């Protein structure tokens, strides 16, 4: 024990087992992917090693006698406003290994404001009537893509008016919502099936992420956005023509400025076939697309993809929300993108260096407001739709995002929570006990695609209804009337600068 590492006992969680309730049934042993529970042969009972617990709550959720409680370890370091416990632990770990700190899921950092929580919505009182969506029509239908500056009409032979303007291809969504990019590989096939089926049933889209599209999922193409990222994994002409839209991923909110890296552990046979990379080899996506070093180069790739898909689908460009995001978005639109997707710094990920995740980028609310304003000021807002991503937690966040100027929102973490994720943030180990971020067949079968799809559908139905209620309360009967309608928002407790950036007044004004 002399050489035990300093941080052996500074673990994050403790497993509390109610000895009276525990029946030694070993469910916890079978459920834990990290071997935190084990059978002690000499004592003939189930024991546990707190140091191995990642706080995923799988055992607690499945314990048949409710004998388990997972809680934060109570041991605390002496209070220090500067040296918060996570920084102390980081140093112990890095001193032991020399490694880059690796994290999963969105940033938990608490000192960066969540502006959704500082924004309040309006409702109609007396002067204009609110609308009850249970009995009156309410329109959530959303079209993503370039819109014409004006419409021109002629007359057909029988004298009826006929549209002369040629419309750009658009993606039609029944809700202003889409499942955000999560690659096949980062999450397993069962969940890709679930997302594809849920998106189809809902009339929305899911995004393949950078991992190609498995052959059996081509049938859901009408509800699929196919993604092209710097590694170009699984990208070929069939893939580009499989979906309702093509997205160029330039950046991701959780890790702006760096590439992706699917560890060899997660590359099983099916992932290997779909990505077209060898089994067990790392799949490395470069930080930049090496064919994009400028807006002109981006234009070149956008039109390479449009040519490859014969101009049948809109092309989206996804970037992380960073400084100067408004100017960058303007360039993207001028480069010919039909959709600009902006991913805020709280967006999730399967793996990101912790320092990048927690310190690089800006919140989506500020980025979104600035991008929408900039495109309006430049008179090019109609040329592209804006999709907001990165930390959408509930339907009110969606409503606020649309009022700030989004056409639709991407959400991914919420979709994973819907199927059991507890945000333990260990996705990069490939051992997700909830069967989500794992390609281990034994773990992955914990997700039944039918049940997972149903849960995702339920979530979007619920959000859709709530959005209708909030819209109706504001006296609006169409999501179109809310888009960029910042008069429906008021701020609480924000500075003049923040309100100026968000383009909203303080509550009470």
Partner 1 sequence: MAKKITLDASGIYYRQFNEQIREAVAAGATDIVLTNVNSQRYLVGAIEGDLNFEIQGVPGQDMCSFMRGPKVRVKANAQDGVGNTMDDGTVIIEGLAGDVVGYAMRGGKIFIKGDVGYRVGIHMKAYMEKLPTIVIGGKAGDFLGEYMAGGIILLLGMFSDKPSEPIAGRSLGTGMHGGVIYVRGEVPKEQIGPGLTAQPLDESDKLVVQGIVKEYAKELGLDAKAILASDFVKIKPFSHRPYGNLYVPA
226 φψ region: left (φ > 0), alpha (ψ -120 to 50), beta (else): beta
Of 64-72, 236-244, 459-467, 493-501: span binding partner 1 (CB under 8 A): 236-244
Size of the site for partner 1 (CB under 8 A): 46
Q: In the complex, what is the shortest distance from the CB of residue 423 to partner 1, in angstroms, rounded to a whole number? A: 14
Place of tokens 């320092």: 355
64/280 with CB nearer partner 1: 280
Q: Does residue 90 touch partner 1 according to CB under 8 A? A: yes
Q: Is 284 in the site for partner 1 (CB under 8 A)?
A: yes
- Count CB atoms within 10 A of the CB of residue 352: 29
Q: How far apart are CA 501 and CA 467, in angstroms?
A: 25
Q: Does residue number 307 form part of the binding site for partner 1 (CB under 8 A)?
A: yes
Based on the shown chain and the rule CB under 8 A, indicate whether residue 237 belongs to the binding site for partner 1. yes
Beta carbons of 487 and 122 less than 8 angstroms apart: yes
**Binding residue for partner 1, selected from 148, 280, 359, 442, defined by CB under 8 A:** 280
Site string for partner 1, 167-206 (x = CB under 8 A): ----------------------------------------
- Closest to 84 (Cα-Cα) out of 52, 112, 109, 51: 109
Q: Give the angle 409-256-94 at the CA atoms, nearest 5°.
A: 125
Closer by beta carbon to partner 1, 355 or else 451: 355
264 near partner 1, judged by CB under 8 A = yes
Cβ nearer to partner 1, comparing 66 with 94: 94
Q: Min. distance of Cβ 470 from partner 1 in angstroms?
A: 37
For residue 299, the tally of other CB atoms under 10 A from its CB is 17
356 to 415, contacts with partner 1 by CB under 8 A? Answer: none
Closest approach of partner 1 to the CB of residue 345, in Å: 17
Contact 191, 164 (CB under 8 A): no
Q: Is 311 left (phi over 0), alpha (psi -120 to 50) or beta?
A: left
CB nearer to partner 1: pick between 208 and 447: 208
94-103: long-range pairs with CB below 8 Å, 24+: 96/5, 96/6, 96/7, 100/353, 100/355, 101/353, 101/354, 101/355, 102/351, 102/352, 102/353, 102/354, 102/428, 103/351, 103/352, 103/353, 103/354, 103/357, 103/358, 103/425, 103/428
Of 101, 120, 380, 507, which lies in the binding site for partner 1, with binding defined by CB under 8 A? Answer: 101
Of 278, 327, 377, 478, which lies in the binding site for partner 1, with binding defined by CB under 8 A? 278
Question: Using CB under 8 A, which of 66, 71, 80, 94 touches partner 1?
Answer: 94
Among 437, 415, 103, 46, smallest CA distance to 254 is for: 103
Residues in touch with partner 1 (CB under 8 A): 86, 90, 93-94, 96-103, 230-232, 235-237, 240, 261, 263-264, 272, 276-278, 280-282, 284, 286, 290-291, 300-301, 303-304, 307-310, 353-354, 426, 428-429
């Amino acid at each position: 024990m002399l050489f035990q590492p300093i941080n052996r006992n500074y673990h994050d969680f403790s497993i509390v087992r109610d000895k009276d309730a525990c029946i030694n049934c070993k469910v916890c042993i079978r459920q834990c992917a990290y071997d935190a529970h084990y059978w002690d042969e000499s004592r003939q009972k189930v024991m546990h090693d707190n140091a191995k617990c990642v706080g995923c709550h799988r055992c607690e959720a499945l314990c048949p006698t409710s004998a388990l409680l997972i809680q934060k370890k109570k041991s605390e370091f002496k209070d220090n406003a500067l040296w918060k416990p996570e920084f102390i632990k980081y140093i112990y770990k890095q001193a032991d290994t020399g490694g880059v700190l690796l994290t999963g899921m969105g940033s938990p950092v608490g000192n960066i404001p969540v502006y959704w929580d500082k924004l309040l919505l309006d409702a109609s009182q007396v002067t204009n009537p609110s609308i009850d969506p249970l009995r009156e029509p309410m329109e959530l239908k959303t079209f993503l893509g370039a819109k014409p500056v004006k419409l021109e009409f002629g007359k057909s032979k029988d004298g009826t008016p006929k549209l002369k303007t040629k419309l750009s291809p658009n993606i039609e969504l029944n809700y202003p919502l889409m499942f955000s990019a999560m690659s096949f590989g980062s999450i397993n096939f069962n969940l890709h099936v679930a997302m594809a089926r849920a998106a189809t049933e809902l009339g929305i889209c899911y995004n393949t992420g950078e991992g190609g599209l498995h052959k059996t999922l081509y049938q859901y193409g009408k509800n699929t956005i196919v993604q092209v990222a710097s590694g170009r994994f699984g990208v070929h002409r069939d893939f580009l023509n499989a979906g309702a839209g093509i997205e160029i991923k330039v950046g991701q909110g959780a890790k702006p400025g760096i590439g992706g890296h699917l560890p060899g552990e997660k590359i099983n046979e099916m992932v290997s076939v779909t990505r077209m990379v060898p089994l067990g080899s790392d799949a490395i996506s470069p930080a930049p697309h090496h064919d994009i070093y400028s807006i002109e180069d981006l234009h070149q790739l956008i039109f390479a993809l449009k040519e490859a898909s014969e101009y049948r689908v809109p092309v989206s460009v996804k970037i992380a929300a960073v400084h100067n995001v408004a100017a960058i978005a303007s360039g993207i639109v001028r480069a010919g993108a039909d959709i600009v997707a902006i991913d805020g710094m709280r967006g999730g990920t399967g793996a990101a260096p912790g320092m990048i995740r927690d310190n690089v980028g800006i919140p989506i609310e500020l980025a979104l407001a600035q991008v929408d304003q900039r495109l309006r000021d430049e008179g090019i807002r109609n040329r592209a739709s804006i999709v907001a991503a990165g930390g959408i937690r509930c339907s009110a966040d969606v409503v606020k995002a649309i009022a700030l100027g989004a056409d639709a929102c991407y959400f991914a973490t919420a979709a994973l929570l819907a199927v059991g994720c507890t945000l333990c943030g260990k996705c990069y180990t490939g051992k997700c006990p909830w069967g989500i971020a794992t390609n281990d067949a034994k773990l992955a079968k914990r997700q039944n695609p039918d049940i997972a799809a149903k849960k995702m559908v339920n979530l979007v139905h619920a959000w859709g209804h709530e959005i209708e209620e909030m819209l109706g309360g504001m006296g609006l009967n169409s999501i179109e009337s809310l888009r960029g309608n910042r008069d429906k928002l008021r701020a609480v407790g924000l500075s003049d600068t923040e309100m100026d950036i968000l383009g909203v007044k303080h509550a009470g004004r």
